[in-house]
Amino acid sequence: MKGDMYLARSSSEEILNKTESGGVVTSLLRFALESKRVDAVLAIKARDGNRYDGIPVLISDPEEVIATAGALHCVTVNIPRYIKEYLDGAFNMKLAVVGKPCDIRGIIELVKREQINLDNLFLVGLNCSGTLSPVVAKKTIVEEFGADPLDVVYEDIEDGKLIISLKDGTEKTKDLKELEQKGYGRRENCQRCEVKIPTMADIACGKWGVTNNKKATFVEVCSDKGAEFFEEAIKAGYINVEQPDDKAIEERRKEEKEAIESALKWQETDFAPLKDMANEEKFDYWWGQFSQCIKCYGCRDACPICYCKDCTLEADRGIVTPGEVPPSVMFPTIRITHVMDSCVNCGQCQDACPAEIPLTKLIHMLNRQLDAIFKYEPGLDISILPPLRTVTDRELTMPGVELAF
């Protein structure tokens, strides 16, 4: 049933040997393929075993699913955009998709924009306490842990610590906050991200709430589709479950709360200097940033919210002058207006930007400001349309020119 929670474990030894947790996600994917509930599975795997080079893979052979087992923290791919661009928005195939909260939120935003067909998707959400950019991750491992990045067999973020396990069996731990203050650690947007458990997916899997080093995955069933799917997987013998006790549920809730509090603190720390600038300073700062733009369209191409087939920013639309670099103020401002109401803080634009303009920081900050007016949380609820496409009943009775909720 929707809302049920389980401590679950894969029944396959092969999968359990490959993962650090209960292997539930891998088992579910295998079940989805073997029971022909989906045509293919979209997940991430390490290319040639390289933990810092995660690639999305489309798998239709159940035997290959095992290659995607195990968590990868140094991977920043953008699942929603792949579904839209390369898989026809899942209009012609049934897919099981594995994603972090931001991936799932991006998918939901694209569903609202009619670019992805949700009916054909089964969304497996992964709890996420953040990802590291591959370059920073390697740097952190070399400079802070004094280890060879290629020796790392597993990395994890737990209780505010970054933990790496090496080939020779040693485990090293560093305080994440200290690392991040020095500029290492998680991506900026992940530090500020306040959605840690993807309850907007069909099921949410993670290790929070798994106590006593038990090899298990904590699963929350988040939709009726998820409930049906999960129960069938149990019946078919792919997964063994037990009920988590109140302590485990409380533990998970506590972990989530702490992570969210830390994210809100990061938001404050990061946004305050930008908000506190005087008008002229703001102006000089941002135009200074945008004057570095080389108009590569990387931010637009990476964004899970941008979806127009004919983009206003293209040269032939009469808005942005062709061949002009840096582009006029229209370029960044139009892009930002088009996405700021629905930004899911996935960090893709900033990752893609060769000029290192703090785009995600800017757009996410604006989005948080808009949240105060529109009360819209991007990508969380499929039934609520983006703010610029809808009008609430309350607004109809407001006479003023300003929205005051």
Binding site for other proteins (CB under 8 A): 274, 277, 279-287, 312, 318-319, 321, 324, 328-330, 333-334, 336-337, 340-341, 362, 365-366, 369-370, 373-374, 387-388, 391, 395-399, 401-403
Residue 248 beta carbon to other proteins: minimum distance, rounded to whole angstroms: 42
Residue 236 vs 315, nearer CB to other proteins? 315
Interior angle at CA 118, CA 113 and CA 123, nearest 5: 120
Residue 326 beta carbon to other proteins: minimum distance, rounded to whole angstroms: 9
Neighbours of 257 (CB within 10 A): 11
Contacts with 399 (C-beta within 8 Å, 6 or more apart), sequence order: none
Q: Which residue has the tokens 């396990």?
A: 165
DSSP code, position 88: G
Tally of CA atoms within 13 A in the half-sphere of 155 that contains its CB: 29
Residue 2 vs 368, nearer CB to other proteins? 368
* Torsions phi, psi for 293 (to 5 deg): -65, 130
Q: Say if residue 326 is preceded by a cis peptide, omega within 30 of 0.
A: yes
- Residues in the chain, how many? 405
Residue 67 beta carbon to other proteins: minimum distance, rounded to whole angstroms: 44
Residue 247 vs 282, nearer CB to other proteins? 282
Residue 294 beta carbon to other proteins: minimum distance, rounded to whole angstroms: 16
Residue 185 vs 327, nearer CB to other proteins? 327
Return d(Cα 181, Cα 389) in angstroms, integer.
Answer: 40
DSSP code, position 328: P
Residue 334 beta carbon to other proteins: minimum distance, rounded to whole angstroms: 5
Element (H, E) at 162: strand 161-166
Say whether 323 sits in a helix, a strand or coil: coil
Residue 293 beta carbon to other proteins: minimum distance, rounded to whole angstroms: 13
Residue 405 beta carbon to other proteins: minimum distance, rounded to whole angstroms: 11
Residue 302 beta carbon to other proteins: minimum distance, rounded to whole angstroms: 20
Residue 169 vs 399, nearer CB to other proteins? 399
Residue 14 vs 284, nearer CB to other proteins? 284
Residue 146 vs 318, nearer CB to other proteins? 318
CA distances from 170 to 147, 155, 290 (A): 11, 12, 45
Return d(Cα 151, Cα 166) in angstroms, integer.
Answer: 5
Interior angle at CA 69, CA 17 and CA 86, nearest 5: 165
Return d(Cα 330, Cα 307) in angstroms, integer.
Answer: 19
Tokens of 405: 């909720």
CA distances from 27 to 17, 118, 226, 390 (A): 12, 22, 14, 40
Residue 144 vs 270, nearer CB to other proteins? 270
Residue 376 beta carbon to other proteins: minimum distance, rounded to whole angstroms: 10
Residue 62 vs 326, nearer CB to other proteins? 326
